């Protein structure tokens, strides 16, 4: 072992990542593998320094390593990691890295692409909470996950009911709807209702039952009913050819059906609708078109389409949105950005447009991406915004 390598090993525990890279590059190629392995021993990746420096690293035998995730325009543009050879023979390992500066409260999802194959970060024990995909999760020091989504012992819990909804319109296919009923439901009446698009996924991945139970137990929310409606043909219903029929079936058939079966409040100020991505789009369109049904609406990372803009233009020409309408919109700094959509810019612009019309808009930008784990963090705030005493 060379003197330079021995000195580097003695000092590596105190090294910042840029200093380690300099040491690695100055070390003879044949000795670099030992230095790299020793530096990474006991460290979790990605490496976080000075609250806002984020270093993705991968060490092993590979020709190429890319990172793809929230930072890469919402998984749209994988970026290559720099490679430092750590051996002078064929098949020797390489030390791969790429560094970023991000806000100190960021939460970011990612995967490595090693020789064309997607994989979790082997040095990161942290993976996303249950969702439609499992990814490695980079959490900066300023991010603090809400405890309200966790199952809590010692509190009263709501119950779950299901019903079959079949529209009179043959274009709208039948579906099973999940209904959350709060603790003590049998003795309650005139309950506020929140309708959730992408209902099956939202109920599972956004931990709605836990969140509502915990908010009620903490007296942050009155007892409410949750109606979770899954799509059957998501694109056509939420942002396509059958959107008008879907809105009519939802507002004129499903809502009256829920009101006839359950102990709901009949007033639109006690009725909310929400969704994510295209589900956020249909929620916003629904509230703009049918404020007689919904006066509380939330869109998270919503698709802002010509359909939505046209609906708002027609609303302006006919009658303004009622003064009791409350709108929540949030989007991630690292949301999807491509040739067709720039989610952050479009959500920001649409929120400003609503505000100019005098609508009460709560707009939020977060240092996160287009992910269930992000949307779940603000679900408690949305429900309080809708219904809190």
pLDDT of 130: 75
Residue 8 scores a pLDDT above 70 = no
Burial group, residue 204, by CB count within 10 angstroms (0-12, 13-18, 19+): middle
Note the pLDDT of residue 3. 44
Confirm whether 281 is domain-assigned: yes
- For the stretch 319-336, what's the b/e string if a residue is b when 16 or more beta carbons lie within 10 angstroms of its beta carbon? eebeeebbbbbbbbbbbb
The full DSSP string for 11-41 is HGGG--HHHHHHHHHHS-GGGHHHHHHHHHT
CATH of the domain at 113: 2.60.40.10
Distance of CA 37 to the CA centre of its chain: 35
Same domain for 99 and 186: no
Report the share of the chain in percent with pLDDT over 90: 91
Write out pLDDT tens, residues 209-240. Answer: 999 999 999 999 999 999 999 999 999 999 99
**Does 275 lie in the same domain as 184?**
yes
What's the pLDDT at 176? Answer: 98
Mean pLDDT of the 188-209 span: 97
Q: What is the pLDDT of residues 303-344, one digit of tens each?
A: 999 999 999 999 999 899 999 999 999 999 999 998 888 999
Strands in 360-366's sheet, in edge-to-edge order, are 159-165, 175-181, 225-229, 193-197, 271-276, 296-300, 326-332, 360-366
| Residue at 211 is within a domain | yes
Q: How many CB atoms lie within 10 A of CB 302?
A: 28
Mean pLDDT of the region 265-275 = 97
> So what's the pLDDT on residue 204?
94
> Which CATH number do you get for residue 226?
3.40.50.1820
Enumerate the β-bridge partners of residue 53: 49, 101
What backbone torsions phi and psi does residue 371 show, to the nearest 5 degrees?
A: -145, 150
Q: What is the mean pLDDT of the chain?
A: 94
DSSP string, 264-309: B--SGGGEEEEEETHHHHHHHHHHHH-TTT-SEEEEES----HHHH
pLDDT band at 2; cut points 50, 70, 90? low
Q: What is the pLDDT of residue 10?
A: 44
Distance CA 238, CA 198 (A): 10
Range 247-256 average pLDDT: 98
pLDDT band at residue 14, thresholds of 50, 70 and 90?
low
Residues 68 and 160 in one domain: no
172 and 86 in a common domain: no
Are residues 264 and 359 part of one domain?
Answer: yes
Quick one: pLDDT at residue 37?
95
Confidence band, pLDDT 50/70/90 cuts, at residue 389:
confident
Residue 368 has pLDDT above 50, yes or no: yes
Domain, as residue range, for 127:
3-139
- pLDDT more than 70, % of the chain: 96
The token duo for 85 is 């050879």
> What domain count does the chain have?
2
- pLDDT score at 67: 98
pLDDT at 1 over 80: no
Q: Note the pLDDT tens digit of each residue in 126-182.
A: 999 777 789 999 999 999 999 999 999 999 999 999 999 999 999 999 999 999 999
Position 90 scores a pLDDT of: 87
How many CB atoms sit inside 10 A of residue 216's CB?
21
- Tokens linked to 145: 């996950």
**Looking at the structure, do residues 206 and 109 belong to the same domain, yes or no?**
no
Do 135 and 155 have their domain in common? no
pLDDT at 9 over 90: no
Q: Is 157 domain-assigned?
A: yes
Residue 144 counted as domain residue: no
301 or 15, greater pLDDT? 301
Residues 163 and 114 in one domain: no
Residue 7: both structure tokens together: 């000195």
Which has the closest alpha carbon to 382: 246, 247, 251, 276? 276
């Amino acid at each position: 072992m060379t003197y330079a390598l021995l000195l580097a090993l003695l000092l590596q525990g105190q090294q910042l990542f840029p200093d380690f890279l300099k040491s690695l590059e100055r070390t003879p190629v044949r000795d670099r593998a030992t230095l790299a392995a020793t530096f990474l021993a006991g460290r979790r990746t990605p490496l976080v320094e000075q609250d806002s420096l984020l270093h993705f690293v991968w060490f092993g035998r590979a020709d190429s390593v890319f990172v793809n995730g929230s930072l890469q325009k919402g998984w749209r543009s994988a970026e290559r990691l720099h490679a430092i050879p750590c051996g002078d023979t064929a098949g020797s390992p390489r030390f791969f890295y790429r560094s970023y500066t991000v806000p100190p409260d960021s939460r970011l999802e990612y995967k490595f692409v090693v020789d064309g194959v997607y994989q979790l970060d082997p040095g990161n024990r942290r993976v996303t909470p249950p969702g439609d995909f499992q990814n490695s999760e980079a959490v900066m020091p300023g991010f603090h996950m809400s405890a309200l989504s966790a199952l809590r012992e010692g509190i009263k819990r709501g119950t779950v009911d299901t019903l079959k909804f079949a529209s009179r319109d043959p274009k709208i296919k039948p579906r099973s709807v999940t209904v959350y009923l709060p603790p003590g439901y049998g003795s309650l009446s005139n309950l506020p209702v929140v309708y959730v698009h992408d209902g099956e996924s939202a109920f599972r991945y956004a931990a709605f039952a836990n969140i509502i139970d915990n908010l009620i137990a903490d007296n942050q929310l009155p007892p409410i009913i949750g109606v979770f409606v899954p799509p059957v043909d998501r694109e056509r219903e939420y942002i396509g050819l059958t959107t008008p029929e879907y809105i009519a079936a939802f507002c004129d058939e499903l809502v009256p059906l829920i009101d006839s079966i359950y102990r709901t409040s009949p007033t639109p100020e006690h009725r909310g609708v929400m969704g994510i991505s295209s589900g956020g789009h249909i929620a916003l369109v629904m509230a703009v078109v049918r404020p007689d049904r919904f006066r509380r609406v939330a869109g998270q990372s919503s698709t802002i389409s010509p359909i939505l803009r046209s609906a708002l233009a027609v609303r302006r020409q006919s009658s303004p949105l009622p003064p009791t309408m409350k709108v929540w919109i949030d989007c991630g700094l690292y949301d999807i950005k491509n040739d067709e959509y720039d989610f952050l810019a479009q959500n920001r612009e649409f929120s400003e447009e609503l505000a100019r019309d005098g609508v009460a808009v709560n707009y939020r930008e977060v240092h996160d991406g287009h992910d269930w784990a992000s949307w779940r963090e603000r679900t408690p705030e949305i429900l309080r915004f809708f219904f809190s005493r």
